[in-house]
Amino acid sequence: MEFRVSFIQLLQIVLEIRTVTSPDNVRGGDNCGGVVDLTQVGAMTITATDSDNDGIYDDNLDCWWAFTVDEGTIVFESNFFNIEFQSSCGFDWVQLLDGSGEFLGGQAKYCGTTIGSSFQTTSRSLYLWFHTDFCCVTGGPPTGFNFTVKAVLP
């Protein structure tokens, strides 16, 4: 018997271990990702992990964030985006998934310098996955991202 889970189910399992209660707990190192209740914090800005502060994000990362609201929707805004480009985004990338299971912006992965400036979910959750491979970030410094995620309450 083969066992399969969806990306959302896997993300929820992984994030059960990490719960972010304050925006200050998100940046860098072991705090790469987490579960964020935007009903409590309102908005949060997240950045790519740069543990040695050299302007280039770290290698070998898989950072997952789950943003939720009790009511309403979520707005995602990109303030800065420069992730190593490869035509299929096979090296380093950001993935944005609405809680409904749809990719935000209609694209499975984002890399390079092009990502929509703003997206709004149709559900009460947003999942963000930042993946980097083992080496060789190109295109900077600075590289990485700076995103703001906000609750849109009814």
Q: What is the pLDDT along the chain (154 residues), one digit of tens a residue?
A: 444 445 555 555 555 434 443 444 333 444 588 899 999 999 999 999 888 888 889 999 999 999 999 999 999 999 999 999 999 999 999 999 999 989 999 899 999 999 989 999 999 999 999 999 998 887 677 899 999 999 998 8
Calpha distance 40→43 (Å, rounded) = 9
| DSSP-assigned states of every residue in 41-85 | HSEEEEE---TT-SSSPPSS-EEEEEEE-SSSEEEEEEEEEEB--
What separation in angstroms does the CA of 142 have from each of 18, 45, 113, 138? 28, 17, 11, 10
CATH class of the domain defined by 54-154? mainly beta
Q: Which burial class, exposed, middle or buried, applies to 69 when counting CB atoms under 10 A from its CB (0-12, 13-18, 19+)?
A: buried
The whole-number pLDDT of residue 1 equals 43
Specify the amino acid at residue 129: W
- Domain spans of the chain, in order of start: 54-154
Which residues does 127 contact at the CB level (< 8 Å), separation at least 6? Answer: 7, 8, 11, 64, 65, 66, 67, 95, 96, 97, 99
| Pairing of the two strands 62-68 and 33-37 | parallel
